């Protein structure tokens, strides 16, 4: 190939690069996206600031016991469909990303779940039991109950949904 042919090839490549660069500059000048005022999706995680005053100001939940009287375990089972990505619910099933939850109600917190490795945040609650009120706090906001837990689920905001889930968990014995 002659040097004239090489010059044409190099000029074509350089022209294409210049056109692409100019198109990028013009598109940035024409289209200027407006930043969002607030995030569209909040990712569960530890609070941005962990001042003791903020933790003390956490809202106190109403007792779940009155709602448990009219809770529906079948609705609770349906609510736990989102949980089944990480947890199993039937006796003898293996742990997934989270522990198997069969018989969790009344069981110890942060231990005795088929060898599951709990986070330090949950191990800090060793010696406590998963009673309905504790489950209510956990299911409302796991990160608030145990800051730094591995569980990234944001929680069930409705007390009725939490009562249904607790009734379902209580039926797993």
In a domain, 4, yes or no: yes
φ, ψ (nearest 5 deg) of residue 108: -75, 150
| 156 and 92 in a common domain | yes
pLDDT digits (tens, 9 = 90+) for 116-133: 889 889 888 888 999 999
In a domain? residue 145: yes
Q: Are residues 162 and 78 in the same domain?
A: yes
Q: Is residue 120 part of a domain?
A: yes
Domain range spanning residue 27? 1-31
In a domain? residue 43: no
What CATH number does the domain containing 105 carry? 1.10.760.10
Global pTM value: 0.66
Instruction: Give the number of domains in the chain.
Output: 2
Would 83 be classed as within a structural domain?
yes
Residue 17 and residue 70 in one domain: no
**Residue bearing tokens 């949904």:** 161
Position 78 scores a pLDDT of 94
Q: Which of 128, 110, 106, 109 is nearest to 119 (CA)?
A: 110
> Could you tell me if 89 and 165 lie in one domain?
yes
Same domain, 104 and 165: yes
Residues 75 and 146 in one domain: yes
Indicate if 97 and 14 belong to the same structural domain.
no
Q: Does 55 fall in a domain? A: no
Shared domain for 84 and 162, answered yes or no, is: yes
Tell me: do 13 and 77 sit in the same domain.
Answer: no
- pLDDT above 90 as % of the chain: 58
Report whether pLDDT(115) > 50: yes
Mean pLDDT over residues 100-127, rounded? 89
Distance in Å from the first CA to the final CA of the chain: 82
Same domain, 77 and 144: yes
Residues 6+ apart with CB under 8 A from 115: 95
- The 10s digit of each residue's pLDDT in 5-55 is 999 999 999 999 999 999 999 998 899 888 888 877 766 555 555 545 444
The residues pairing with 108 across neighbouring beta strands, listed in sequence order, are 129
Three-state SS at 19: helix
Q: What is the pLDDT of residue 46?
A: 53
Task: Give a yes or no: residue 95 inside a domain.
Answer: yes
- Same domain assignment for residues 14 and 70: no
Mean pLDDT value of segment 52-66: 68
Do 23 and 87 sit in the same domain of this protein?
Answer: no
């Amino acid at each position: 190939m002659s040097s004239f042919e090489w010059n044409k090839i190099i000029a074509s490549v350089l022209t294409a690069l210049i056109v692409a660069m100019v198109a990028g500059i013009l598109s940035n000048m024409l289209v200027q996206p407006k930043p969002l005022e607030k995030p569209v999706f909040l990712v569960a995680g530890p609070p941005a600031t962990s001042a003791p005053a903020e933790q003390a100001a956490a809202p106190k939940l109403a007792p779940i016991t009155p709602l448990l009287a009219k809770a529906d375990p079948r609705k609770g089972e349906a609510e736990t469909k989102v949980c089944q990505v990480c947890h199993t619910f039937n006796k003898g099933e293996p742990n997934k990303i989270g522990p198997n939850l069969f018989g969790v109600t009344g069981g110890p917190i942060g231990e005795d779940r088929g060898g599951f490795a709990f986070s330090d945040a949950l191990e800090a609650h060793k010696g406590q039991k998963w009673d309905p009120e504790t489950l209510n706090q956990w299911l409302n906001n796991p990160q608030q109950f145990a800051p730094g837990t591995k569980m990234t689920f944001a929680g069930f905001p409705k007390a009725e949904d939490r009562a249904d889930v607790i009734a379902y968990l209580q039926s797993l014995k």
